[in-house]
Chains A and B, each alone.
Chain A
Amino acid sequence: MSQSRFEELIHRARAGDRSAENELLQKCRSYVSLIARAQIEGWMRTKFDASDLVQQTLLEAHQGLENFKGQTEAEWLGWLRGILNHNTLDFARKYQGAAKRDVKREFSINQTGRNVDQSDRQQWELKDQTETPSRILLNREQEILMAEAVAQLPADYQEVIMLRNLQRLSFKQVAERMNRSPGAAQMLWLRALNQLQELLECV
């Protein structure tokens, strides 16, 4: 998947090509899923099935596509991340039950795309800009490929990568969470990394 291929997909999807849009969203599924899990699991400190959140995010992306103004891969992923963040945050609120729900926000989640008012537009555009400059400069294609590769790993490999790399836990904490000795967790991590690297080389 080259940069221009990806941008072509974005272009066609924005022009209303359903199959292109579908392909675009499917390509990003692993990416969205991985980031969602990293955020939620880091916060809940336990495993979490993020498929609902991913579904929700991709659905909103589909519904709100006409509001996406960017052209590049980086802008697209930044936009997706923006929608995802907003969903994970909502999920966190619901889960804690501490805060009252923002009615307006709920409206915007369910109605985006069908009933877009001006304030909603601005909200999406604001999300669009949440990217830090350093992120935008990086090669985003690598991120999608990496997320796909992680998704192909066996479950325990995925978990150790999730804990050590994405949640930035120390090996002592990783070992506790996985019920293994720290040494075993480290060896597992090394094997996971090796397999990841092989998967990436095959692409």
Chain B
Amino acid sequence: MSIEIEKALNPVSNEQDDQSELAVEVLNQYLNYLQTHDPESCHGLRAVNPELKKLMTCLDSLERLAPDAERSNLKDHSSGPEDATLLFSQTDSGRSLPHQTIEFGNYELLDELGRGGMGVVYKARQKDLNRIVALKTILSNQFASEEEVRRFYLEAQAAGRLQHSNIVPIHEVGQYLGQHYFTMDYISGGSLANSNTRQLSETSQGDFYQVASLMLQVSQAVQYLHSKDIIHRDLKPSNILIDENGMAHVTDFGLAKIFDAIQTGSEDDARTQSGMIVGTPGYMSPEQAAGQLTEISARSDIFSLGTILYELLTGVSPFKQNSPLDSLVYVIEGEPPLPQTHNSSIPYQLELICLKCLEKDPDLRYQSASELADDLERFIAGEPIQAQPAGFRQRFQRWFRRQPALVSRLSAIALSAGIIQTVYSTQGIDFTYHLKMMTIFGLWAMLALFFQWGLDHLKNKEKVRFCWVAADVSLLTGLLVLADSPLGILLIGYPMLIVAAGLFFYVRLVLFTTVLSILAFAVLVLLRPELTVLWQYPVIYVMVLAILGMITAYQIFRVRVLSRYYDLHRPER
């Protein structure tokens, strides 16, 4: 038994009396959470009260013994309805508790507005001032020590001093029953994430000006934050609230930075892992996604603003993928389709502004939120904007990021064909041989274009990838069958295809490529007897291929596991 509880048992002085009163209060709250099926809050209380953990475990197993209302078949068996209702009235009332208001210190929690990895947001009534506020609880497992709690308070208080018409003001920070929270203005209209996007994507020209003016307000708010040395780091539609007058209000600012500072401060702690990447995959900048903490600057927020503008224009989030890992990879190396491919009526100037925000290199973006605001203002006023169309090199880079599989294949094909053409022109070998080789290269390039089209337009992208890989392996084998002896070095083609398949991050695709390559090589050995002069060489080659495939698949598997872990511990949804 811990000292804490000894004290509780022998209340001698007032202080110890208080101790056990607090223990009862916390345990009772814990039991309430248990009985209302709120595991998240239970977890929170557990984390801040380690000395009560054993007693909480006791409460857990007692709760499992309590009669359970879910066994509804009992009601079916009962002949009179009265007895059933009486028999279960107790548990029923326990279950309906979440719908009643919950007391939370000076607040009454009225409604749950949303929840994320950091905590839960409630609509709440502040009793003494009788006003409606939004109350956000911070899960205590976000904090590793008292020092960090202190820093959270300091930063939150600093954030409380901010004043801007497009920023949601913070009223108060505090804690109740070990649960840290802060309150802010309640904005009734909901956020960009759940209200306006759909309307805005059904477009008339006027709407684009609305989008621009909304983004202008947000940029000005972000500029204000930057002028106070606060980087938001988690700008996204759900953090931009719209009031009933259609004005935008930025929320959740600065807190991400606080947590980030906490995380980098204590790297030994296992907890840091969950917060390594602060932000939301799909809306964060490449430097955030890559975890380059020192690279994060005000310009990272500009990138996030670009993703929001893109989503407002097209109704599609530019980098969002099925899993957070895919989103991260896509943010770092992918390029979304041009906004105009979603909707051709999007004004070219707005597209340019959006693309300038979304540059991978921070130096190529707007250098401050006020520059972005200025360009948006010019667009609204009908003046020429400062963002310039991309040059040839930038365009090629974007094309490569947008369709890497196609561009890399076309480049490889062009290079190889070029070399063969040079050899043919200088040495003048057999024409039919040359024609055959060139036909295969041409076919390969056409198929690549076709499969890229399939990836962009067909629903079942996975199948397209498998077919593409199968086509690659067959065409490579065709080339090798025809090629002049000795083949030797050219066999490097198979390992290359296996590794390249790994770039899609699908274990099955890699294994599929490996098996196909081995089969193709077996065919090749049959057709080209020269390969079997020393029988052990092909065997070694096949085994190396298999091992290579396995290693690549294993690496992807490991990254996938990390991705799942990250998915479970995402700081903010």
- Chain A residues in contact with chain B, CB under 8 A? 31, 34-35, 38-39, 42-43, 85-86, 88-89, 92-93, 96, 98-100, 102, 126, 130, 132, 135, 138, 142-143, 146-147, 150, 161, 164-169, 171, 186-187, 189-191, 193-194, 196-198, 200-201
Contact = CB atoms under 8 A, between A and B. Distances in A.
B387 to A, nearest CB: 56
A114 B8 CA distance: 55
26 contacts: A43-B86, A92-B83, A92-B86, A93-B79, A98-B80, A98-B82, A98-B83, A100-B79, A102-B79, A130-B74, A146-B64, A147-B65, A165-B31, A168-B91, A187-B24, A189-B24, A190-B20, A190-B23, A190-B27, A193-B27, A194-B1, A194-B5, A194-B8, A194-B55, A196-B62, A200-B58
A130 B71 contact: yes
Contact of B65 (A38, A93, A99, A171): A38
B50 to A, nearest CB: 15
B71 A132 contact: yes
A166 B66 contact: yes
B23 to A, nearest CB: 6
A13 B5 CA distance: 43
A161 B82 CA distance: 27
B82 to A, nearest CB: 6
A194 B9 contact: yes
A53 B80 CA distance: 21
Contact of B62 (A100, A161, A171): A161
Interface in B1-59: 1, 5, 8-9, 20-21, 23-24, 27-28, 31, 35, 54-55, 57-59
Given A43-B89, A138-B64, 15 more contacts: A42-B87, A43-B87, A93-B80, A93-B83, A98-B80, A142-B61, A142-B64, A143-B65, A146-B62, A164-B31, A168-B66, A187-B24, A193-B55, A194-B8, A200-B58
B67 A166 contact: yes
B83 A168 contact: no
Given A93-B83, A196-B58, A165 B66 contact: yes
B70 interface: yes
A168 B79 CA distance: 26
B149 to A, nearest CB: 26
A74 to B, nearest CB: 11
Contacts of A85: 71, 74
B73 interface: yes
A37 to B, nearest CB: 10
A42 B86 CA distance: 9
Contact of A38 (B9, B66, B77): B66
Nearest to B78: A89
Interface centre among A147, A150, A187 (most CB of B within 10 A): A187
B94 interface: yes
Contacts of A142: 61, 64
A146 B61 CA distance: 7
B63 interface: yes
Interface of B: 1, 5, 8-9, 20-21, 23-24, 27-28, 31, 35, 54-55, 57-59, 61-68, 70-71, 73-74, 77-80, 82-83, 86-87, 89-91, 93-94
A129 B67 CA distance: 16
Contacts of B94: 168
Nearest to B87: A43
A39 B67 contact: yes
A197 B54 contact: yes
A191 B438 CA distance: 88
> Which 5 A-B residue pairings sit nearest by Cβ, starting from the closest?
A99-B80, A99-B79, A165-B62, A42-B90, A186-B24
Interface centre among A89, A147, A167 (most CB of B within 10 A): A89
A126 B27 contact: no
A193 B53 CA distance: 12
Contacts of B61: 142-143, 146
Contacts of A93: 78-80, 83
B164 to A, nearest CB: 45
B90 A168 contact: yes
A88 B78 CA distance: 11
Given A168-B91, A194-B8, A132 B68 contact: yes
A34 to B, nearest CB: 6
B9 A191 contact: yes
B64 A143 contact: yes
A167 B77 CA distance: 22
Nearest to A186: B24
Nearest to B23: A190
Contact of A197 (B20, B58, B67): B58
Given A138-B64, A190-B24, A96 B80 contact: yes
Contacts of A143: 61, 64-65
Nearest to B63: A165
A171 B87 contact: no
B298 to A, nearest CB: 48
Nearest to A200: B58
A73 to B, nearest CB: 13
B329 to A, nearest CB: 35
Nearest to B66: A166
A153 to B, nearest CB: 12
Contacts of B24: 186-187, 189-190
A42 B79 contact: no
A73 B20 CA distance: 37
B97 to A, nearest CB: 9
A31 B89 CA distance: 22
Contact of B83 (A96, A146, A201): A96
A130 B24 CA distance: 35
A165 B58 CA distance: 10
A88 B79 CA distance: 14
